[in-house]
């Protein structure tokens, strides 16, 4: 029996016992009627306790309901709407340009956190800016063709959704008192609702039915491993580190992705640019760690 139900049952038993004792005492010996008022006071006390306990249960359920809705909203924003905007940008941008325009996420993370705590950290903005510069060295490509501006706006909206989601999660999750494995399913539910609502009017189900086993396998990998497990680990790390480190690691994945493309898919890589950009990102991470240890107070770390 759950603890709350056990307490409720125990309170009812105590009230029933008081009623029985009071009535039996009166029936057995009229000479003990002087104890009657005491029994009635006990009955009133237990009834008040029972009502108060039920009110506490109701408030607890309301609070849990609000937490569930808030977490589902975070998932809808961080994963659902983010991916909708991200995929839409491919209508206007080449893959290299999409990768390039993700580099501004650290700035969004730092700015969003500063607005939420009403205290902007210029030192974290500095390290986030270094992370953007380092990633730009790795990815920079020639720009200036039609449609680029619209694609850029879609990508920045996607970056903002992802940044806001992770900052909100690291603020909301500790308040629930639960582990990440108990919460992430709620976030994914919110993401699924947004994705399904946006996809249903446009999906060509005939083409979906014609997908090959290999294509289905790729989708399962992207959904369950790359996104499902990847985002779980990312958010789990987000609530365990300072906001500066979180911002930088939004871009640390890009040199790793370039390295994986070279090692796994044997794509051409400019190793000098990769090394230079990676060194700048590593320097930003080292500088951030030094600032957290020597210059910033715990309250300033987000």
pLDDT tens per residue, range 68-81: 999 999 999 999 99
∠ CA 189-194-196 to the nearest 5 degrees? 90
pLDDT at 97: 80
pLDDT of residue 129: 83
pTM (2 d.p.): 0.75
pLDDT at 52: 53
The answer to whether residues 98 and 76 touch, using CB atoms and an 8 Å cutoff, is: no
Residues of the chain with pLDDT under 50: 1-35
How far, in Å, CA of 259 to CA of 273, rounded? 12
pLDDT at 278: 87
Percent of the chain with pLDDT over 70: 76
Task: Report the half-sphere exposure of 266 (CA within 13 A, side-chain side).
Answer: 0
pLDDT score for 178 = 92
pLDDT at 37: 54
The pLDDT score that the predictor gives to residue 135 is: 81
Q: What pLDDT does residue 132 have? A: 85
pLDDT of residue 144: 63
pLDDT in tens, 109-134: 999 998 888 887 777 788 888 888 88
């Amino acid at each position: 029996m759950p603890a709350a139900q056990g307490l409720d049952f125990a309170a009812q038993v105590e009230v029933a016992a008081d009623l029985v004792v009071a009535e039996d005492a009166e029936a057995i010996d009229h000479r003990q009627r002087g104890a009657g008022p005491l029994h009635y006071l006990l009955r009133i006390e237990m009834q008040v306790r029972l009502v108060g306990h039920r009110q506490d249960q109701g408030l607890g359920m309301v609070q849990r309901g609000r937490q569930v809705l808030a977490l589902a909203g975070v998932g809808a924003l961080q994963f659902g709407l983010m991916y909708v905007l991200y995929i839409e940008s491919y209508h206007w941008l080449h893959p290299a340009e999409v990768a390039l325009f993700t580099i501004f996420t650290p700035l969004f993370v730092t700015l969003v956190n500063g607005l939420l705590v009403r205290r902007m950290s210029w030192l974290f903005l500095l390290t986030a800016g270094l992370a953007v510069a380092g990633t730009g060295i790795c990815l920079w490509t020639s720009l200036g063709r039609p449609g680029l501006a619209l694609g850029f706006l879609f990508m920045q909206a996607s970056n903002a959704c992802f940044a806001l989601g992770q900052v909100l999660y690291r603020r909301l999750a500790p308040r629930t008192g639960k582990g990440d494995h108990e919460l992430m399913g709620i976030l994914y539910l919110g993401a699924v609702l947004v994705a399904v609502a946006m996809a249903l009017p446009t999906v060509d189900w005939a083409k979906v039915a014609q997908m090959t086993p290999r294509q289905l396998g790729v989708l399962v990998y992207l959904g369950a491993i790359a996104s499902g497990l990847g985002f779980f680990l990312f958010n789990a790390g987000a609530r365990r580190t300072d906001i500066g480190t979180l911002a930088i690691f939004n871009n640390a994945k890009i040199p790793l992705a370039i390295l994986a493309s070279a090692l796994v898919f044997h794509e051409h890589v400019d190793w000098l640019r990769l090394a230079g950009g990676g060194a700048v990102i590593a320097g930003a991470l080292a500088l951030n760690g030094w600032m957290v240890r020597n210059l910033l107070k715990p309250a300033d770390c987000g």
